[in-house]
Structure 1
Amino acid sequence: MDEHHLLNIATSYLKSAVFPESAEIDRSPQALQNALNGLGELGLLALQVPSVWGGLAASAETYYNFQQLVARYSGALAFLQTQHQSAAGMLVRSQNQSLQQEYLPHLSNGNILLGVGFSHLRRRGEAIVKATPVDDGYRLNGTVPWITGFGIFQEFIAAATLSDDRAVFGLVPFVNSDRDAGKITFSEVLPLAAMTSTNTVTARLDNWLLKCDRLVSIKPPSWIHDNDKQNVLKATALALGCALASLDVIQATYSNKQLAFIHLALEKLHLELSQCRAAIDKAANESYQTKLKLRAWAIDLAVRCAHCAIAVSSGAANHNHHPAQRIYREALVYTVSGQSTDLMAATLNRLIDSK
């Protein structure tokens, strides 16, 4: 599919089917799943999977633009589909060809939906999910603290740490399971402040047998930190999409109230957003520290734009169903998503140094 055509199809669907239901999608898992299924019907759930596996083989730029676009119209949908697309990317890079043949052709249309659970690898100190080699695979023990998509995804890629600090990644059921003398138990849906419809839970793995045929990959001890550095700018797409959503609210408010100072604020924020995106687009060869500053800028911009949307919406923004309220909560999520210690520091530095 031509990449310009791809984005046009996505835009049409998001504007006509997702945006009018964005409030319901934010709070209803069923509405969210329906929106996700709609992306699947358009074949948009495995953008960077090679065409030989049924994906669209989209460029990094097109994938970025797509992520920004989805976040503009529904943060919950953007966050959920990102989990699935991340799982697809991990399978593409896997050495397990039988697993690739089993799963990859079914990811683009959403016939198989996958989550991920490896953010705990960023935690310092003793591993909270451990893997022990056995004859037919690995026994997993511990608690995965954050997995999105319970009741929506069928399986997820879990990560566990070996005694030498390498990380084992494998597909496990996303449903309470008891077999091979092992068990997986999921918590109730966590009572989060934002994107509650994404059904985020924790998982307890008790002696769970990850068989060799379910193994996705084994990564070196520093993988998560190296991956964070390499991909530090990817998540800016979601933050900037959130900022655009806020600007849409401000634009709608200005159209109604026709106040000059709202128009001035809108122009200034549009300009800054364009400048931030342009700097990100040109940052491929910049230093890690520069990229961290750009990520922090995108986070700061998302929050400030959301705050401006709150301000111009007046007291109505305090209603739970108001779009400015939803977007403000989404900005919270993008502030902490994929957060490393380095990113936390960069974010704080940005916030305390801003004038």
Structure 2
Amino acid sequence: MTTAPHPLVARARRLADDLLIPSAQRVDRDGVPATHIEAVRRSGLLGVSAPEEYGGAGAPDTVARETAEILAGACCSTWFVQTQHHTPVRMLGRAEPGLPARERLLRPLATGELLAGIAYAHLRAFPRVPVRVRAERGGWRFDGTVPWYTGWGLNDVMLLAGVTDAAEVVFAFAEARERPGLRPSAPMRLAALTAARTVSLELAGLWVPRESVVLRTPREEFARVDIPRSTNTSPAVFGVAYAALRLLDGAPDAKETARALRSRLDEVRRRAYALADHPVAHERVEERLALRTRAYDLLRAATTAAVVAGGGRSMSLDSPAQRLAREAMFLLVQGQTAPVRGAHLAALAHD
């Protein structure tokens, strides 16, 4: 007997097959269109991990990971825009009931009425503090530069963070639009995922009301939670690697290569997700890092094999193989922290 897939997994596969895969090359060239985001909204995938009582699916992490793999393997740019949304949803879901930001935003975010982005990766640059925040007029004033903000022009709200002079991190929601105190750069031209509409944000006295704050925590506590979490392997790594292996399946002289790489990837995926489900996030960190690095190795091998199998055709911008290879390069640094970078470089030194 086989078990039917979760409804959201089935919807993700339909969305991938019917829309994302057929248009992935065009999106890579022209940018993620609003129609793609509308399709993701309608699918219910934006609420995959949101509480059911707020209109979400309340699905287990296994479902969230599988849907992420499917979307990333189909169109990594679309995946990257929508994946920003899930962190704010999870943070609101864990927030204290009755918190104004939770009661105002969790339902529209869970149902896909609103799409959220994130503007807090700069917290990992400490002791540099790119964005400073201080209390002002019944709210908080943000000043500085958000180096990376993805989904500009597609997102409705952003989860913004800054650090106070007392080394407290303040997370608050703000509208994702230009206004006094918030100015976006021109869209960045990147080697991969330019389509995801990434900009930097200049903050010059952006004021956010107290009611929009979702979390205040010491910077050390943020790092304690964030660093172990970042050692887990992103489902997107597996999604893009499996997409490259599907290209190999279609090349008559590459089937054995595809079979061997898939077997290794399946094993790393199994072990990585078992560790991701481990109840104590800060345990077995070295093992998590080793598996993340091994997954990168297999991602690189799979996408390289797809390029090799495609021959000269792989150099065309119309080739899925070269797009997947560039997306793989992007995933090497996406969500990177100092421990992740150090472990990866050390592993490369001993290859």
Sort the TM-score into its range (normalised by shorter chain): over 0.9
Distance 2:231 2:10 in 1: 24
| Aligned counterparts, 1:194-233, within 5 A | 194-232=192-230
Shift of 1:69: 1.4
Structure 1 spans left out of the alignment, 5+ residues = none
Q: Please point out which of 119, 123, 126 is paired with 2:125.
A: 123
Q: Please point out which of 102, 112, 115 is paired with 2:114.
A: 112
Distance 1:222 1:301 in 2: 34
Distance 1:297 1:195 in 2: 23
Shift of 1:235: 4.3
| Aligned counterparts, 1:242-281, within 5 A | 242-252=240-250, 254=251, 258-259=252-253, 262-281=254-273
- Structure 2 counterpart of 1:306: 303
The DSSP-based 3-state class of the residue aligned with 1:15 is helix
Distance 1:66 1:222 in 2: 32
Structure 2 spans left out of the alignment, 5+ residues = none
CA deviations 1:195-250 (Å, max 9, x no partner) are 11111001111111121011121122124422333323554211011100110111
Contact 1:148 1:198 in 2 (8 A): yes
The answer to whether 1:329 aligns with 2:326 is: yes
Q: Please point out which of 12, 17, 20 is paired with 1:18.
A: 20
| Aligned counterparts, 1:139-218, within 5 A | 139-178=141-180, 183-218=181-216
Contact 2:8 2:44 in 1 (8 A): no
Q: Percent identity, aligned pairs only?
A: 25
The DSSP-based 3-state class of the residue aligned with 1:222 is helix
Shift of 1:112: 0.7
TM-score, normalising length from structure 1?
A: 0.91
- Structure 2 counterpart of 1:282: 274
TM-score, normalising length from structure 2?
A: 0.92
Contact 1:25 1:35 in 2 (8 A): no
CA deviations 1:17-57 (Å, max 9, x no partner) are 211111122233353x3222112112111211100111100
Shift of 1:340: 0.8
Paired letter, 2:165: S
How large is the RMSD of aligned CA atoms in angstroms? 1.7
Contact 2:146 2:200 in 1 (8 A): yes
Shift of 1:97: 2.6
The DSSP-based 3-state class of the residue aligned with 1:45 is helix
Distance 1:29 1:172 in 2: 24
Paired letter, 2:108: H
CA deviations 1:132-186 (Å, max 9, x no partner) are 11240111110011100110002211110011211111112222112xxxx1111
Distance 2:347 2:15 in 1: 36
Shift of 1:99: 1.9
Aligned length: 342
Contact 2:233 2:291 in 1 (8 A): no
Distance 1:177 1:91 in 2: 25
Shift of 1:279: 1.3
In structure 2, the CA distance between the partners of 1:351 and 1:93, relative to structure 1 (3 Å rule), is same
Paired letter, 1:288: V
- Structure 2 counterpart of 1:60: 61
Q: Please point out which of 335, 346, 351 is paired with 2:348.
A: 351
In structure 2, the CA distance between the partners of 1:140 and 1:232, relative to structure 1 (3 Å rule), is closer
The DSSP-based 3-state class of the residue aligned with 1:227 is helix
The DSSP-based 3-state class of the residue aligned with 1:48 is coil
Shift of 1:67: 1.0
